[in-house]
Amino acid sequence: MDIVAVVTLLGIVQGFFIGTLLVLSKGPNQRANRFLGALFVCYSLSIMHFFLDRSGLYPQVPHLMRLGLPVLFLFGPLFYFYVKVLTDRTVRLRPYDILHGLPFLFLVLLMVPFYLSTREEKIAQIERMKDFAVEPAFLLVATIQVIHLFVYLIVVRGILRQYNIKIRNTKSSLDRINLRWLLICTTLYFVVFGFIQLLTTLQAFGIHTVELYHTSIPLIVTAIIYGLGYMGLRQPEIFSPAEEMAAGKKYEKSPLTPASAREYTTRLQSYMTTDRPFLDSELTLPGLADRLGIPAYQLSQIINESLGVSFFDFINGHRVEEAKRLLQDPSKSAFTILAVAEEAGFNSKSAFNATFKRYAGQTPSEFRQSLKKTGVSSTVA
C-alpha cells in the first residue's frame, strides 16, 4: 500500500468521523451541521474508489466499485443547504426541495444494472478500470457533474454576499462570524473541479492523465475534508433570534414616520455622545435598540436610510474617533496599540488595524507616529 493510499484512507475515516459528529451534534448550528455532516460522508464515499484501486483491494470487494460516483451530484445541494441554513436560521425545507436530489437519483437508477451485475463482471471491469476516464459515458457524466456543482457554487457566492450585507446591519464586530472561509471554499471548489474536468477532458483526447488523476484527486479531497472539517466544527452561531428578526425585517411597510425618524435620529446621536455604547465590543443592533427603546428594525432603517451607513460602519466610525482621541491624549501615551483598541471597543488588534486604516487612511501606528512628528502627542512608549 503506497503513501497516497494511506493518506486517502485517513481522509475516508476522517470524513466518516466528522460527518457522524456533525450529524449528531447539538447546538445552535445543528440544522446546518447535518447538511455539512452528510457532505463529509459523500466526500468519503467519493474517494473510496481511489483507495481500493491503489491498495489493490478491489478484487476482494468488487461490489463497492463506482459506489461513490453518483454522490458527486450531492456535493452542490448539500453545500448550498449548509450555507443557506447557516446564514438564515428561518429557512425551512419545503417538499419541492427534493428536486435538488433528482440528478443523484437519476444516475443511481441508470447505474442499477451495473450495481446488480455479478462479481465476475465487476472484476472484469476492474481490470479495465485504469482506462475508464476515456469512456464517452464517463466524460459526459463527469462534465455534467462539474457544471451542476458550478451552478450551485455561483448561487452560494450570492448567498454569502447577501449575508455580508446582513451582518453589517446587525453586528458591530465581525471577527467571530466572518464567513470569508466559505468564500475561499467556493473558490477552491471552482479550481479543484475545474482541474478535475481538465484532466478528464485531456484523457478523452488521448493525453495520458490517469496517474495524475488517481494521485491528485484523493489527496485534494482529503485536504478539503480536514480543512473544511476544522472550520465547520469551530463555526459559532451567527444570529440570535432577535438579530435574525431585525436583519430580515423589510422597510417597505415600516410605520416609521418622518417625524419619528427625526426624533429617533436625534435620540440616537445624543445617546452615542453621552453613553458611548460603542465601547461595548459585543454591541449588536437589537442590544442598542433595547437601550434606546426603539424597535430594532426601525433603528436599522434610521441608520441605513437617514444616516446612510450600515450598523457596522456607524458603530465602528465612532470607535475609530474614540481611538484617535486616545492616541492624541498625552495621559494615554503609554498605551499599546492593543490597549487603545480595547479601550475604543474593538475586540481584536487585527480588526482595529483594518478598520482604523479604512477610516483614517493609515494604521494606528502610523497615525501615532504622525502625531509625534507634529508634536500633537507626547512621546510614546
Q: Compute the 3-state secondary structure of the chain and give helix, strand, coil in percent, each to the nearest 5.
A: 75, 0, 25
Exposed, middle or buried, 330 (CB in 10 Å: 0-12/13-18/19+)? Answer: exposed
Count of residues in the chain: 381
Domain ranges for the chain, please list them.
Answer: 3-237, 240-308, 312-381
Cα torsion through 111, 117, 121, 122, rounded to 10: 50
Contact between residue 327 and residue 371 where contact means Cβ atoms under 8 Å apart: yes
Question: Could you list the pLDDT tens digit for every one of the 381 residues in the chain?
Answer: 689 999 999 999 999 999 998 888 887 778 888 999 999 999 999 999 889 888 888 888 888 888 888 999 999 999 999 999 988 878 888 999 999 999 999 999 998 988 888 888 887 776 665 554 456 777 788 889 999 999 999 999 999 988 888 888 888 877 666 677 888 889 888 998 899 888 888 877 778 777 888 888 889 889 888 888 877 777 666 555 445 555 555 565 667 888 888 899 999 999 999 999 999 988 999 999 999 999 888 898 899 888 999 999 999 999 999 999 998 888 887 788 999 999 999 988 888 998 999 888 999 998 888 877 776 544 433
**pTM score:** 0.78
Q: What CATH number is given for 3-237 in this structure?
A: 1.20.1070
C-alpha–C-alpha distance, residues 365 and 67, integer Å: 58
Q: What CATH number is given for 312-381 in this structure?
A: 1.10.10.60
